[in-house]
Structure 1
Amino acid sequence: MPSDDVAGGREPSLLAEFAPCRDFALTEHLVVAASPGETYAVVAQLRGADLRSPVLRVLTWARGLPVRLRPDETAPAFEEILLGARWVLLGERPCQEIVLGAAGRFWTPRMRWDVVVPHEFARYDRPRSGTIALALSILPFDREQTLLTLDTRVTVHDPVARRWAELYWQAIKPTARLVARQVLHAVNDEATGRHRSARN
């Protein structure tokens, strides 16, 4: 699926630079009751490409979701991808957007992660493999409020692997959406906590 980030003269996002095309995508938004600066201070903790902070408690919670909400006990859940991937920081626009990426085969019971560097990420096309790019972006929303967005893009160039990845993605998408929302709420909780502390 082609990218639709360039519209009406709007500057393309960093996510569009590193994942210009995507086969599967997931986008969630949340209005945070904190300023863009306070919100990005939390998001920026991911510079080390470590999703364990500040959202570890959320992902641990997600592991306890009932089996009926999971597609298959043998397939990795979305939070297991988030915690287990070999994330690399692809790019950052301070106070606007941070993008992480990982590459490998992550839709099978035994996930395999490859080493990938930012300038090669968009061209990654190893057989039976794909990429997952994750962006957290912020926009001023209202007075001392922020629109926080979590975008996930999965790209699989291998046509055989894409068929399997599509079955997997469609199966986990409802639960992945739930986890994505909880990640946003985790950022919100920490950002609003900082906001209240700054005002006291």
Structure 2
Amino acid sequence: MSADSTFDPVGGALLLDSALPEFGFSRLECLALAAAPPVAYEAARELDLLTLDAPLLNAAIWARGLPDRLRGRPIPTPPSMRVADLFDAPGGAWEDQPWVALGESPGRELVFGAVGKPWQASIEWRRVEPEEFASFDEVGWAKMAAAFVVHPYGIRRSLLTYEARTACTDPESTARFGHYWTLVSAGVGVVLRGTLRAVREAAEEHARDARSDVPPDR
């Protein structure tokens, strides 16, 4: 299936459209938050992905440490992998990971992606730098891009979307990913929704704390 760029009611193309405008597979989940857009955005940015059950991320971490495991060397585990660190400190916990920051619109959108072969029993990853991601077309790979986008919704509320897109670089890879996607698409939806709930919990807690700090009118 092919898809057009996501319609954005706020106006203008998404950064995700620049990173991966044409794609064959996608999943989008949305959740309403009882928190203003700036609070929702900050909660998404501060999310620690190591606290979530995210199979592709966990597989990437495991695969990157495989050479050392085979040599019997200890594999250090980073204390955290915050979304913010991917954008602010790429030389830290994210340095040896295939995931890269693809763009940020402060207060509105965070985009990141990776290139790999997720249909393999042991996923093979290919580190592609952000400036090369959009044009990368080497045969045999799947390009995966994801984005958090915050939309205003009424008064002191937000809608947060989490979209994951995949485009493959040749027909054979597309067919292989298609078989894989048939098996995992529902599970990816579960992961996306769980991630959104984690962001909502953090954002709404922050909003409640902010309201409790406001002194009552006299």
Instruction: Give TM-score, length-normalised by structure 1.
Output: 0.81
Is it true that 1:130 corresponds to 2:142 in the alignment?
yes
Residues 79-101 of structure 1, C-alpha deviations (whole Å, 9 max, x = no match): 22133442101000000000001
Q: Does 1:173 align with 2:185?
A: yes
Q: Distance in 1 between matches of 2:161 and 2:179?
A: 25
1:20 matched residue in structure 2: 21
Q: For 1:3 and 1:12, locate their aligned partners in 2 and report how far apart those are by CA, in whole Å.
A: 11
CA contact (8 A) 1:38 1:191 kept: yes
Number of matched pairs: 174
- Mapped to 1, the partners of 2:9 and 2:188 lie a distance apart of 30
Unaligned runs of 5+ in 2: 61-97, 213-218
From 201, 204, 208, the counterpart of 1:189: 201
* Post-superposition offset of 1:126: 2.1
Render the CA deviation track for 1:46-76: whole Å, top value 9, x for unaligned.
xxxxxxx4343331xxxxxxxxxxxxxxxxx
Give the distance between the partners of 2:49 and 2:155, measured in 1 at CA: 26
Letter in 1 for 2:34: A
Amino acid at match of 2:56: I
Cα shift at 1:6 = 5.7
* Aligned residue number for residue 58 of structure 1: 52
Residue 71 of structure 1 corresponds to which residue in structure 2?
none
Amino acid corresponding to residue 99 of structure 1 in structure 2: V
TM-score by length of 2: 0.75
**Does the 8 Å contact 1:54/1:186 carry over to 2?**
no
CA distance in 2, matches of 1:80, 1:126: 25
Which segment is superposed worse, 120-129 or 172-181?
120-129
Query: 2:3 & 2:39 partners in 1: Cα distance?
Result: 33
Which structure would you say has the larger Rg? 2
In structure 1, the gaps of 5 or more residues are 46-52, 60-78
The structure 1 residue matched to 2:114, chosen from 102, 105, 130, is: 102
> What secondary structure is seen at the aligned counterpart in 2 of 1:142?
coil
